[in-house]
Amino acid sequence: MEFELSIIVASILFLLILLKLRKPTQSECDLNRIPGPKRLPVIGNLHLLLTKSMPHFIFRQLAAKYGPLLRLQLGGVPFLIVSSVEAAKQVLKTHDVAFANRPQMHAATTITYNYSDIAFAPYGDYWRSLRKICTLELLSSKRVRYFRPIREEENANLAAWIAAKEGSPVNLSEIVGLSAYDITSRASVGEEAEEKQTMAAAIKQGIELGSGLGIADLYPSNKLLPFITGMVFKIQKVFRQTDRVFESIIRRHRAAGPTDERSEDLVDVLLKCQKDDAGVRLTDDNIKAVILDMFLAGTETSSTAVEWVMSEMIRNPRALKKAQEEVREVFENKGYIDEQNFEDLKYLKLVIKETLRLHPPVPLLVPRINSERCEINGYQIPTGTRVMVNAWALGRDPSYWDEAEKFKPERFEGSSVDFKGNNLEFIPFGAGRRMCPGMSFGLANIEFSLATLLYHFDWEMPAGQELDMEESFGATAKRKNDLLLIPTIKRPLRPLIKSC
């Protein structure tokens, strides 16, 4: 045993000596010029993440010390962390094409059918064609309007379920998540996907595995790590669960045949594009990958936003009261929530904006990688460098936001700042070519769910419990602890009036 330990120690020392003697490459020299904390052998700066704080918190603290363009060595992978609007502009606007690709990650390789989805597909003809299908066919404003009856029915179900629990604590995080899943499922595949609980759990784990900050992703040259850490087995389990369901969905849609435009779900549209060869040859695996994107983005991001809006309003009773009064005044004569009047929910829209500023569902935008050498903030960035934009830090930058840490919905009143990617201090849906194409779909779901919760119910914390605002670790920044609230019915539920 002592002999084996001596061999291991000697091997490590030998490797450290080789690393010390090895002449750094030009790329390494360029990266070394960028400010950043001192690195340790083998792990680099990975030890800085081994705290209870979330990565986006830590990155902002480091940026305050080293600057808005921060170099970090996380395991075997060099990262650049962008924490200022000026640096973000160069990545997301000036050099948008150069940074339009994604790095390879273990989870994405498998569950996106070898990068054939929208989020991770390499920048090129296939991605452009797929993006065009999404923006013009799958997620256009017209298509989102067609999904209105689904939102109405599922939110009526949500309200009825909550009403049955009146006076008792309800797990708002859980039920809002399942409601978002049902809306996304019906819009995507025309029905509530089979094995709902299993699918919802698989999607949640897929998001956690796809953060890009797992040990196996940070040491890509070590081919054994995915097996040692168990990551490869978790990925395969998620893939088998989702693939089986998606295969069944496609088979049923083919058997059912074409349907009219207003009744089409996203699978119908994709199968039609496959048949028409609409600019790109779609395989069944490509269709599955796009369906997965819809579930990942449509479920997690919208439900995360709703639970944070409710959390902030519970913490700020004045905002809760004002939003409730507005919603009830707008819909008092109808007695039910109607999207046709959503433009009148001006204060609720301010509350949603302010919450997305403080709690962007994806605080660290999905990593990008540059396909060519470029310059940012005067530094040369070698080809193949991973870049992460800290959207959470941009939304709390005191250079752009007065009382940046304070919840102030009124700050957006009369302001031209929006979240469509033009104002880089506020990018909860990203910016540039890789901006989330499902923004309209997500916002429609968020607004309808919140209007339903605020119109029908008053809300309070269970006796003796305090509201915590801790986040969980993952690609999406959900609450660490589920939000438990007690509902009291204030406006009775009425039979659902079907949309025309």
Detail the residues annotated as belonging to a binding site.
436
Cβ atoms of residues 436 and 297 within 8 Å: yes
C-alpha span between 47 and 39 (Å, rounded): 9
Q: Answer left, alpha or beta for residue 148, where phi above 0 means left and psi between -120 and 50 means alpha.
A: alpha
Residues 170 and 485: beta-carbon distance below 8 Å: yes
What is the radius of gyration, based on Cα positions, of the chain? Answer: 24
CA separation for the pair 302, 307 (Å, rounded): 9
Annotated binding site for heme: 436
DSSP 471: B
Measured distance CA(444)–CA(298) in Å, rounded:
11
CA 334 distance to own-chain centroid: 35
Q: How far apart are CA 30 and CA 191, in angstroms?
A: 52
Instruction: Tell me if 294 sits within 8 A of 121, measured CB to CB.
Output: no
**Other Cβ atoms within 10 Å of 66 Cβ, number:** 17
d(CA 172, CA 487): 10
Q: Give the strand pairing for 386-389 and 368-369.
A: antiparallel
Secondary structure percentages of the chain, helix, strand, coil, to 5: 55, 10, 35
Cβ proximity of 362 and 391 under 8 Å: yes
Task: Tell me the backbone φ, ψ of residue 402, rounded to 5 degrees.
Answer: -75, 135
Task: Give me the phi and psi of 458, to 5 degrees please.
Answer: -95, 155
CA dist 12 and 487 (Å) reads 60
Name the β-bridge partners of 79: 72, 386
Residues in the chain, total: 500
Amino acid at 79: F
Q: At CB < 8 A and 24+ separation, what contacts does 437-441 make?
A: 437/118, 437/131, 437/134, 437/135, 437/138, 437/139, 438/134, 438/139, 438/294, 438/297, 438/298, 440/139, 440/141, 440/144, 441/139, 441/144, 441/147, 441/187, 441/298
